[in-house]
Chains A and B, each alone.
Chain A
Amino acid sequence: MKKTTFLGTVAAAAMVAGVAGAGTLDDIKAKGFLQCGVSTGLVGFAAADANGNWGGFDVAVCRAVAAAVLGDAQAVKFTPTTGKTRFTALASGEVDMLARNTTWTFTRDVDLKFTFVGVNYYDGQGFMAPKSLGVTSAKDLDGATICIQTGTTTELNLADYFRSNNISYEPVPVETNSEAQQQYLSGACDVLTTDASGLAATRATFEKPGDHVVLPEIISKEPLGPLVRHGDDNWADVVRWTLNALIAAEELGVTSANVSEMGMKAGNNPEINRLLGTEGGLGEKLGLSNDWAKNAIAAVGNYGEIFEKNIGENTPIGLSRGLNAQWTNGGLIYTPPFR
């Protein structure tokens, strides 16, 4: 289903792309690459390096899906999307999936007709204040000026939180995260609020990070996850179970280092065997090869490895696992069983 149209002179530049004619999975196999929507640049989650290679926590999900479907983690074309263009890019078929730190909400799932396939990061809105301000809790912030990004869920969460605690605040609306940083550092606002992961990343860039504290209160639930369009359940399954495979791999102790050895032949643990395709033929049921999960894990590592490499405690961002620890360690990261 390819057709070229020529409208006007430079229409020679018209690009050809098939959109969701057959199943998305078949389309991707036919064109040989995955088209993945990511952020235009969010530290730790998605950014291109000096050579134009994308990397980050969200980007790793795209690469894992590409490795599972096509056997090649490099077979991804990244489409940077802004907060305003991300949903249309997915809905119009410009991208096959979106992995762009997008909060799973009712309206996005139901009204915008997307399918969130899972959660790869449990975030929540927090506050950061200078140590010199002497606050230890968000409840002490009565009368504070707060820098807040307009048009986001954080703005609404903030209003809700202060109203329910019966304290007042003065909002300083800003447009972007970098503007918020500048305003906060120049003292235009006492407090900065955004997702806790963003606060940690921002604090890490300060000249004296020790002068600022992140307050303990988390005032909202922001489950971030990859999403696909409604209406192609098979493709949603592929993305969902690729993400689950990364999570299961960590739980089962499969890493990028030992996956090729463990996947050579069936071992003693039947769940690992089913995951890595030495038993059970789960990959075929998805329409993939049986070593799909093995390819994904070999390419990007398991969930824990991805976390440590991009946003973990040894990176400049330095996030602890917290809610994003495995359920066996008291976190929320949990996958249904592979059987």
Chain B
Amino acid sequence: MTKKVSYVRTEMLPEQTPPLTAAGPIAWMKTNLFSSISNSILTVAAIIALYFILSGLLPWIFHSSWAAGSLNECRDVIKEAYGPDASGACWAVIRERYLQLAYGFYPPFPGGEMNGFAPMEGASLPGYFRPNLTFILMLVALSPILFSALPRKMLWFSAIYPFLGFWLLWGGSVWVPVMAFMGFVLAGLAFQIIGKMFGSLFGVIAAFVVPVLWWIALSGYAADMMQSIVPVGLLPIESSQFGGFMLSIIIGITGIVVSLPIGVVLALGRQSDMVIVKALCVGFIEFIRGVPLITLLFVASVLLQYFLPADVTFDKILRVVIMVTIFAAAYMAEVIRGGLAALPIGQYEAADSLGLDYWKATRLITMPQALKISIPGIVSTFIGLFKDTTLVSVIALMDPIGLTNNIRGDANWNGIVWELFGFVGFVFFVFCFSMSRYSMYLERKLKTGH
């Protein structure tokens, strides 16, 4: 006989949710916010502080007016909608001027009526076609550099993009950027040919001298000649019409992209055994780092005019870009030198023992590791550089900060401060935060430790 079993569970019990004190929001709060008396006090204090900040800020942000023609209209609209004591943001100024904050005085329809602010009869291109296309192409050109999964052939586009972007933005004859690009082609050829005939040192020297000679002496004439044979060009836009975030991005991205390779070269030069090279690099880095950026910008905008011959003036944006770039390059050099110094000496010795020459060892062994170590520092320098572009408002370039002043010069918007600076700050935050997130992605991807 089988023994009678009074109770047998025949099916599994379903999984139960953990008790409220062990999981879920209450448990989370208990462990993270109220784990001890002092933590509880701090939590409560923080909540009170947050309440005071947000209760002041949120009504100001949302009790706002988007549709008004002037600051006083804004105030009337807000009083009507939210009571006589309400005061809120006058976002209407952003609504009226967001295109100006984005593009400065760049004409949306070059060649159109009203200085290019109204489309010409029969024109079909959308407004701000040239800067928008330049921006999209910039993303395309940057993507193979930023993401290694993309096909490497795209790097060819990245190489010609600076010249294409310049031509799209500034316009003029297409042959000017083409001939400038030819300088680099000549540099490559000179390095190959002369390097083979007389050795690599002469090759390097030729790669510097030949393009400079080309740019100074010949490329202008060549561009003029080609333009007279095959006239291809866009309506030229003057630098004084550039402004807003477009200007910040032009200065920032150019500075970022150019300062990295210059910084690498300077960092290597500073570690070099060759006395003159080392002295030049150290002198350059220490001089630039010892001078405030604002001083360099004043030199660029004011002093250079006196030094240059009377009949030659350099484009103001170009001068500023050069100054910002060399400023960033000096900092970049030190960041990368830090990376090189952090590499164990064994890595250098291993490269030597493999029989690699200096350039190969640097390119294949030491520099990739040094760059990887330096990513946080490099990106910090980039972010700092991008934010520093707002300093150009001091030399009267119409970057977003400079434009806020100009917008306040309009009698309708005089007295508006927080809305404009808040908007500019928000956009800068978006850019800088994206750069920061990208650098974290890159660090994770390149992580080889276990």
A residues contacting B by CB (< 8 A) are 1-21, 39-53, 56, 74, 77-82, 84-85, 88, 92-94, 176, 178, 181-182, 201-202, 204-207, 315-317
Contact = CB atoms under 8 A, between A and B. Distances in A.
Contact of A41 (B75, B215, B408): B408
A316 B411 contact: yes
Interface string B145-183: 000000000000000001000100010000011011001
Most buried by A among B239, B301, B321: B301
B30 to A, nearest CB: 42
Contacts of B305: 88, 92-94
Contacts of B114: 51, 53
Nearest to A178: B417
Contacts of B241: 52
A53 B115 CA distance: 8
Interface centre among A1, A41, A92, by most B CB within 10 Å?
A41
Nearest to A79: B240
A326 to B, nearest CB: 24
- Size class of B's contact patch? 35 or more
A1 B315 CA distance: 17
Nearest to A74: B115
B402 A40 contact: yes
Nearest to A311: B411
A15 B318 CA distance: 9
B282 interface: no
A12 B216 contact: no
A20 B70 CA distance: 42
Given A77-B240, A92-B306, A207-B75, A315 B396 contact: no
Interface in B303-317: 305-306, 310-315, 317
Contacts, number: 169
A82 B396 CA distance: 6
B394 A207 contact: no
B425 to A, nearest CB: 15
A12 B411 contact: no
B283 interface: no
A79 B393 CA distance: 13
Contacts of B75: 207
Nearest to A17: B313
Given A13-B170, A52-B241, A43 B414 contact: yes
**Across chains A and B, which 4 residue pairs bring their CB atoms closest together, nearest first?**
A205-B415, A41-B409, A47-B409, A41-B406
A3 B162 CA distance: 24
B412 interface: yes
Nearest to A5: B312
Given A3-B311, A18-B311, 5 more contacts: A10-B162, A14-B312, A15-B238, A16-B313, A45-B409
A45 to B, nearest CB: 8
A280 B11 CA distance: 117
Contacts of B180: 6, 9-12
Contacts of B87: 207
B67 interface: no
B97 interface: yes
B207 interface: no
A181 B97 CA distance: 22
